[in-house]
Amino acid sequence: MWALISDIHGNLEALNTVLQDIAGKGIPNERILCLGDVVGYGPDPVACVDAAVNWKLTLRGNHDEAVVNEALGFNPLAREAIDWTRSQLKPGWLSGRQKKARWEFLKSLPLTYNLDKALLVHGSPRDPTMEYILRSECEDLLGEVPAKIKDIFSRFETLCFVGHTHDPGIITEESKFHTPKEIDYHYEFKEGRKYIVNVGSVGQPRDGDNRACFVTFDGKKLWYHRLEYDFGTTQNKVRGIPSLDPRIAERLAIGK
């Protein structure tokens, strides 16, 4: 069994709740796959990166990339959070070994990973860090498969696991988007078919459900898990950091 997580965004309370649940399912760190955005927005980037070092895989998300490079194309709220996050993580000349190792870890995150016949990316196979695969893009006025969706499906063999949108769901080759609730939080993949799976967000859910989200996967079946966590503590931390916009705290309560 594998646990796939994504978009932690420096939210330690959500991450600890998810990791505790994963451990309770008997899944070790060596079976945890993270699809990126360990940092950005949240108040605990250091602790979240320290946790990520122990997992089987952590991919590079757009916020991870922006922290170690430059925040291009981000809105002011996100950019301010990235700048603050960089100030917490980037080592100076006199920094200790652990801080330097943490920075090198972020700089070296891979863009993609193949798990048997499944492709893992943060955003999409066409642009691993930046491109979104949005629920709204699955719809076509004529009822046909949109060109973008068709092109993305042509770029992987069977399954493609993504994050980035913070909107969990399964997209079929017919361009139908199925939410976790619609599939009763589990799904069995049919042989010979292709699927895109958005695993949702641990620390910044945006599908109207404020609970942390992740999936488990055994090679044929997938389960979505939603967990309540102490978002009030995270909110208070955000509000205590002048460089972080209070709207980051507010959205945690509504999952938007």
For residue range 52-72, list pLDDT tens digits in order: 999 999 999 999 999 999 888
Cβ atoms within 10 Å of 205's Cβ, excluding its own: 26
pLDDT at 92: 87
Residue 220 Ramachandran class (φ > 0 left, ψ -120 to 50 alpha, else beta): alpha
pLDDT at 109: 98
pLDDT at 171: 97
CA distance from start to end of the chain: 30
The residues pairing with 221 across neighbouring beta strands, listed in sequence order, are 188
Q: What is the mean pLDDT of the chain?
A: 96
Domains, the chain, in order of start with CATH, read 2-254 (3.60.21.10)
Q: Where are the alpha helices (DSSP H) in the chain?
A: 12-24, 45-52, 62-68, 76-89, 97-107, 147-153, 231-239, 246-254
> How remote is the C-alpha of 240 from its chain's centroid?
25
Amino acid identity of residue 250, one-letter, is E
The arithmetic mean of pLDDT across residues 119-141, rounded, is 93
d(CA 58, CA 18) in angstroms, rounded, equals 16
Contact 60, 7 (CB under 8 A): no
Q: Flag whether pLDDT at 141 surpasses 80.
A: no
pLDDT at 7: 98
Which has the minimum average pLDDT: 97-111, 138-152, 165-179, 197-211? 138-152
pLDDT category, 93, cuts 50, 70, 90?
A: confident
- Name the percent of the chain lying above pLDDT 90: 92
Please report the sign of the dihedral spanned by the C-alpha atoms of residue 137, residue 141, residue 145, residue 150.
Answer: negative
What is the gyration radius of the CA atoms in the chain, in angstroms? 18
pLDDT category, 90, cuts 50, 70, 90?
A: very high
d(CA 201, CA 206) in angstroms, rounded, equals 8
What predicted TM-score, i.e. pTM, was given to this entire model? 0.95
The arithmetic mean of pLDDT across residues 216-233, rounded, is 97
The beta strands (E) that lie in 126-190 are given as 159-162, 169-172, 177-178, 186-188
Tens-place pLDDT, residues 242-255: 999 999 999 999 99
The arithmetic mean of pLDDT across residues 34-41, rounded, is 97
pLDDT category, 186, cuts 50, 70, 90?
A: very high
In terms of residues, how long is the chain?
A: 256
